[in-house]
A and B are shown apart, each in its own frame.
Chain A
Amino acid sequence: MAQTLFEKLWNLHTVSDLGDGEYLLHIDRIFLHERTGGIALQNVAERGLKVRFPSQVFCTMDHIVDTFPGRGDATLMPSGREFIETTRAAAQAAGIHLFDIRHERQGIVHVVSPEQGIALPGLTLVCPDSHTCTLGGLGLLAWGIGSTEAEHALVTGTLRVHRPKTMRVTFHGNLAPGVTAKDMALHLIGKYSSSGGKGCAIEFAGPVIRELPIEARLTLCNMAVEFSAFTGMVAPDEKAIEYVHGRPFAPAGSELESAVTHWRSLHSDEDAEFDYELAVDCADISPSVTWGTSPQHVEPITGTVPEPETESDPVKRSSMESALDYMGLEPGTPIEDIRIDAAFIGSCTNARLSDLREAANYLQGRHVADWVKAVLVPGSTPVKKAAEAEGLDKIFEAAGFEWRESGCSMCLYAGGETFGPGKRVISSTNRNFEGRQGPGTRTHLASPVTVAASACAGYIRSADPTTARKA
Chain B
Amino acid sequence: MRAFTRHTGIAAPLLRSNIDTDAIIPSVEMKTVGKKGLASGLFAGWRYADRETRALNPEFILNQPEFAGTSILLAGQNFGCGSSREHAVWALDEFGIRVIIAPSFGAIFRNNCIANGLLPVTLPWPLVSAIADEIEASHSDHELLVDLEKQEVVTPSGTAHGFKITASEAERLLKGLDAISLTMQLRDRMEAFHRKDCVRRPWVYLPHSH
A residues neighboring B (CB under 8 Å)? 15-16, 18-22, 24, 26, 28, 35-36, 38-39, 42, 49, 53-56, 63, 77-79, 82-83, 86, 95, 97, 120, 122-123, 128-130, 144-149, 151-152, 155-158, 160, 162, 194-195, 198-199, 228, 230, 248-249, 251, 255-256, 258-259, 262, 294, 315-316, 318-319, 322, 412-414, 416, 431, 433-436, 438-439
Contact = CB atoms under 8 A, between A and B. Distances in A.
B189 interface: yes
Interface string B148-170: 00000000000000000011100
Contacts of B203: 251, 255-256, 258-259
Given A86-B33, A145-B84, A160-B183, A55 B205 contact: yes
A319 B19 CA distance: 11
B193 A15 contact: yes
B78 A123 contact: no
Query: What is the size category of the interface that chain B forms with chain A?
Result: 35 or more
Given A433-B22, A435-B23, A82 B85 contact: no
A386 B20 CA distance: 35
B179 A148 contact: yes
B108 A144 contact: yes
Contact of B104 (A19, A63, A198, A251): A198
Contacts of A322: 16
B189 A149 contact: no
Contacts of B204: 28, 120, 123
Nearest to B32: A79
Given A146-B84, A146-B111, A258-B202, 15 more contacts: A28-B204, A79-B32, A128-B84, A145-B108, A146-B89, A149-B179, A151-B180, A155-B180, A156-B190, A194-B81, A228-B81, A249-B210, A255-B202, A416-B28, A433-B23
Interface of B: 16-18, 20, 22-23, 26-28, 30-35, 45, 51, 76-78, 81-86, 89, 104, 106-109, 111-112, 115-116, 125, 166-168, 179-180, 182-184, 186, 189-190, 193-194, 197, 201-208, 210
Given A79-B32, A152-B180, A412 B194 contact: no
Nearest to B125: A315
In this complex, the member of B32, B189, B204, B208 whose beta carbon has the largest number of chain A beta carbons within 10 angstroms is B204
B84 A56 contact: no
